[in-house]
Each structure stands twice: as structure tokens, then as C-alpha cells.
Structure 1
Amino acid sequence: MEDAERKGRVEGQLEGKLEAIPRLLKLGLTLEQVAEALQLDIAEVRKSARSQTEQ
């Protein structure tokens, strides 16, 4: 049960970070700054930014 709870917590944290990406970019941060601030890989930030602009 603990593994499922931990996995859910990690997924929730990641989801929150991914939701923050468009807001941070709108504030003028670069992709690199967003990746550093959210402790994400730059490729993940680029992928999320692209999917947001396609919507």
C-alpha cells in the first residue's frame, strides 16, 4: 500500500510542476530557467510547452 501511495504522491507532484510550466513561460522565464526552477529535465519542459501551444 505504501508503494501505491508514494507513486501517487510523485505523480501528483509532477503534474503540479507540468501545470506550472505555461505560467512561468508567460512570466518571461526561458525554458532553461523553468527546468531549473522546477527541477525538471529540459526535454520534459520543451515537450510540455509544445503540447500547451497546440491546445
Structure 2
Amino acid sequence: MMNADMDDLSARVDAVKEENLKLKSENQVLGQYIENLMSASSVFQTTDTKSKRK
């Protein structure tokens, strides 16, 4: 009985670790995507107001 519980817990830990790695990878991809969108959008660019007034 106790061995089965330990095996179940061990399998669960492995599954959670695998899911964690998958989510970390997806977060990296999304973070890069957001960074690319922000750099491509003029809304997020810094503006030099002095040169635009001339």
C-alpha cells in the first residue's frame, strides 16, 4: 500500500515537473512575442519632443 502511494506521488511529481518546464518554455515564447510587438509599435517608442517641435 505504501509503495503504491510513493509510486503515485513520484509519478505526480514527474508530471508536475514536466508541465512546469512546458509552461516556462511557453512563457519565454510569449515574452519574446510581446517584446517584439512592443518594439514594432510606435506607441511604446521613446519620443524626442525637442526635435519634433522644430
TM-score (norm 2): 0.48
Larger radius of gyration: 2
Q: Relative contact order (C-alpha < 8 Å, sep 6+): which is higher?
A: 1
